[in-house]
């Protein structure tokens, strides 16, 4: 249900349930959790790209059809009790809330419908590259449900009123509107999101992984805190004390910085 491919120091993970629009069921959530941890702990991999198999969907969210089938099998009350018990268990690995400390770059290559938990997963990534025919949204309200987890990040990526519009109406956004609102970094032609994501990932991989994780962690620690505290992070955690910083400085002194005038 999850295909993994290595391209140098890049890991491409493909959700492989195209017959169910890559919905999160059938063992896919568990496979994704293992993949996040493997990526976090593998020093040979710097960037991860997540995408969906087929040409219809990135990920359509939780597999509601599977949930409905189970509810009919067990009975609505028993199924709800099982769901409540699962939700009340001890803290589990969750990519959207990043409760396991993944500070490496993750890129979403959005190649089709990107809905509900799939949309939240994309928002949980650091960069999003979206194909022009794709759509993204949070339709939970239409089923009497609430969007969870990464919806708080939605309001950092776009304006508060537009974030509320998404969760209140449940209507999907076109790729161009998602780009205009700041939800995605780039819109590319159909069928090219993974290759474009690889190009971006290769550029990122030119730099030391320690540098990448340092800045992602510092950025997240600075969100939502007073400006003076955020600015003090550099003094509390000086980047120049990192070995990768010194190596990069030495390299730039010898070779110059690509793209900068000399």
If pLDDT is split at 50, 70 and 90, which confidence band does 85 have? low
pLDDT at 253: 64
Active-site hit among 30, 34, 69, 120: 120
pLDDT at 79: 57
pLDDT 10s digits, 19-75: 999 999 999 999 999 999 999 999 999 999 999 999 999 999 988 776 565 555 666
**Largest pairwise CA distance in the chain:** 71
pLDDT 10s digits, 172-184: 999 999 999 999 9
Is 0.85 topped by the overall pTM?
yes
Residue burial 137-154, b: 16+ Cβ < 10 Å; e: rest:
bbbbeeeeeebebbbebb
For the beta carbon of residue 33, count every other beta carbon within 10 angstroms: 15
Inter-residue contact 36 to 102 (CB < 8 Å) = yes
Question: Is 206 considered catalytic here?
Answer: no
pLDDT 10s digits, 96-149: 888 899 999 999 999 999 999 999 999 999 999 999 999 999 998 888 777 765
Mean pLDDT computed over every residue of the chain:
86
The residue ranking higher by pLDDT, 175 or 235, is: 175
Question: Is 73 considered catalytic here?
Answer: no
The DSSP line for 21-36 is TT-B-TTHHHHHHHHH
pLDDT at 61: 93
Residue 196 has pLDDT above 90, yes or no: yes
Active-site hit among 140, 165, 195, 206: 140
Residue 92 has pLDDT above 90, yes or no: no
For the beta carbon of residue 184, count every other beta carbon within 10 angstroms: 27
Least confident of 33-37, 140-144, 245-249, 257-261: 257-261
Q: What are phi and psi of 80, to 5 degrees?
A: -65, -40
pLDDT at 205: 93
Residue 233 exposed, middle or buried by CB count within 10 Å (0-12, 13-18, 19+): middle
pLDDT at 144: 76
Number of H helices, E strands in the chain: 11, 10
Say which residues have a Cβ less than 8 Å from residue 234's Cβ, sequence separation at least 6: 218
pLDDT at 189: 98
pLDDT at 261: 58
pLDDT at 160: 83
If pLDDT is split at 50, 70 and 90, which confidence band does 214 have? confident
Residue range 208-231: average pLDDT? 86
């Amino acid at each position: 249900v999850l295909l993994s491919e290595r391209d140098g120091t890049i890991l491409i993970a493909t959700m492989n349930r195209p017959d169910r629009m890559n919905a999160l069921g059938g063992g896919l959530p568990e496979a994704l959790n293992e993949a996040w941890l493997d990526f976090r702990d593998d020093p040979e991999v710097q960037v991860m790209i997540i995408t969906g198999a087929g040409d219809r969907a990135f990920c359509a969210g939780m597999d509601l059809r599977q949930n409905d089938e189970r509810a009919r099998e067990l009975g609505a009350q028993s199924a709800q009790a099982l769901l409540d018990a699962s939700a009340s268990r001890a803290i589990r690995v969750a990519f959207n809330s990043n409760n396991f400390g993944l500070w490496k770059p993750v890129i979403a290559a959005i190649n089709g419908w990107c809905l509900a938990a799939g949309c939240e997963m994309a928002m949980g990534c650091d960069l999003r590259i979206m194909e022009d025919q794709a759509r993204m949204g949070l339709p939970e309200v239409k089923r009497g449900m609430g969007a969870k987890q990464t919806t708080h990040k939605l309001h950092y990526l776009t304006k508060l009123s537009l974030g509320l519009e998404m969760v209140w109406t449940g209507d999907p956004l076109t790729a161009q509107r998602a780009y205009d609102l700041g939800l995605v970094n780039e819109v590319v032609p159909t069928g090219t999101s993974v290759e474009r994501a690889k190009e971006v990932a290769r550029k990122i991989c030119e730099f030391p992984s320690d540098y990448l994780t340092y800045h992602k962690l510092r950025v997240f620690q600075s969100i939502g805190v007073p400006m003076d505290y955020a600015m003090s992070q550099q003094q509390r955690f000086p980047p120049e004390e990192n070995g990768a910083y010194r190596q990069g400085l030495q390299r730039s002194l010898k070779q110059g910085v690509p793209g900068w005038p000399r």
